[in-house]
């Protein structure tokens, strides 16, 4: 579709331009080496190419046709690669995409540690807990060169599936805009959380705008959103924008807790009034939201877990079942990280080091050929060297 093609074209242009540039540079240097190989002033000639005048001289010897052919292959590969990235995202099977943004704020520098960036309280729990429900995408206005090292430090175990940086944003009327229409996702299943309304002005109906973090170590806004986001996943609403609309202008954690308390009170009254005939507890909070759930995500219980009917008989509502299950899954995940996290990170570092070494060896093999005199060929007709 259109967005898949956009992702492919974006990668195609990026890869094609890079390959074309490096091909021009490589063949320009090769031409210089071939021209002056064996001369006494060879080294000074190559070094002079770094100067401004030398750069113009080098430009005149660029192999444009070869660079164009290389760029063409880069465009083709980038088109396939970019398209496959989008297709893989669609095939992940996550019902709702969730886009989170972290502000690069509250930085400090010291001689001992260099630059350090503070994390909003609860962000680690927030990411790990919600990763069981959502496709997590980090969408930041920070450039890649600055943001990528921070993301690796923030999320070493890759719960964030797709990090997007300043390069993926738009710039309209002097403002940075995060346009969700380019994500290649069904926008009825996308929620973006940001701390600046102008960033999400193209799709405000998909947005939760949090207050900016002021450095308060007791801030609970991120963690306070978890019950609401967990409930949306549990109830499998057809369009999350309708749910967000019902909370428009309200502080979502506070308003959701208020509605849940009312729904729980009604549930307990019905439970006491009906005795053995317990209410289902499924759609009560959904009714408080003014919505009807489409499919319940908890209809099938894992082994060793109470069925919804048994849980309702014990006075539990659907969101209680979801939280108990979610917390169990989170604790299992934390246990795995404690036991195997160091090994995972070590294996990943070894794989990256191996890949970098292979790339370096390949590059050095290519460059070394420039400085080795070409072999002379013997003319079979007269037995002389050509």
- Residue 193 pLDDT greater than 90, yes or no: yes
pLDDT of residue 275: 65
pTM over 0.85: no
The two structure tokens encoding residue 345: 């990170």
Q: What is the CATH number of domain 97-319?
A: 3.40.50.1000
Query: What is the reported pLDDT for 332?
Result: 95
Q: Give 375-384 pLDDT, tens digit per residue.
A: 555 555 555 5
Domain parsing of the chain, residue ranges: 2-91, 97-319
Largest CA-CA distance found in the chain, in angstroms, rounded? 112
Q: Which of 73-87, 293-307, 337-351 has the lowest mean pLDDT?
A: 73-87
Average pLDDT, the chain: 74
Most confident of 70-74, 190-194, 284-288: 190-194
Shortest CA distance to 12 belongs to which of 22, 20, 23? 20
Is the pLDDT at 84 greater than 60? The verdict is no
Q: Specify the pLDDT at position 312.
A: 72
pLDDT digits (tens, 9 = 90+) for 254-300: 999 999 999 999 888 888 887 655 555 555 556 555 555 555 555 55
């Amino acid at each position: 579709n259109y967005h898949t093609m956009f992702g492919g074209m974006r990668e195609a242009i990026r890869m094609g331009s890079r390959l074309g540039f490096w091909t021009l540079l490589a063949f320009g240097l090769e031409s210089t080496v071939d021209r002056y190989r064996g001369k006494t002033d060879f080294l000074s000639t190559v070094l002079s190419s770094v100067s401004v005048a030398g750069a113009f001289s080098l430009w005149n010897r660029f192999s444009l046709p070869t660079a164009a052919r290389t760029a063409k292959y880069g465009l083709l590969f980038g088109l396939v690669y970019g398209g496959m990235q989008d297709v893989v995202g669609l095939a992940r099977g996550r019902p709702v995409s969730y886009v989170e943004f972290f502000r690069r704020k509250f930085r400090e520098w010291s001689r001992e540690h260099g630059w350090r960036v503070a994390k909003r309280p609860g962000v680690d729990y927030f990411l790990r807990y919600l990763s069981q429900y959502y496709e997590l995408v980090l969408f930041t206005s920070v450039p890649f060169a600055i943001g990528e090292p921070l993301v690796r430090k923030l999320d070493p175990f890759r719960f964030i599936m797709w990090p997007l940086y300043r390069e993926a944003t738009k710039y309209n009327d002097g403002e940075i805009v995060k346009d969700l229409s380019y994500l290649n996702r069904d926008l009825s299943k996308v929620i973006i959380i940001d701390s600046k309304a102008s960033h999400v002005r193209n799709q405000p109906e998909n947005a939760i705008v949090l207050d900016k973090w002021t450095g308060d170590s007791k801030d609970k806004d991120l963690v306070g959103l978890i019950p609401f986001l967990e409930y949306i996943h549990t109830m499998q609403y057809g369009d999350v924008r309708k749910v967000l609309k019902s909370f428009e202008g309200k502080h979502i954690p506070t308003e959701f807790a208020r509605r849940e308390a009312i729904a729980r009170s009604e549930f307990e009254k019905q439970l006491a009034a009906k005795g053995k005939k317990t209410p289902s507890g499924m759609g009560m909070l959904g009714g408080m939201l003014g919505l009807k759930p489409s499919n319940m995500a908890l209809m099938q219980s894992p082994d060793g877990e109470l069925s919804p009917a048994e849980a309702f008989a014990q006075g539990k509502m659907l969101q209680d079942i979801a939280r108990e299950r979610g917390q169990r899954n989170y604790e299992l995940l934390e246990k795995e990280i404690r036991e195997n996290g160091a090994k995972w990170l070590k294996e990943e570092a070894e794989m990256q080091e191996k890949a970098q070494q292979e790339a370096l060896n390949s590059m050095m093999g290519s460059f070394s050929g420039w400085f080795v005199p070409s072999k002379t060929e013997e003319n079979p007709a007269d037995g002389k060297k050509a």
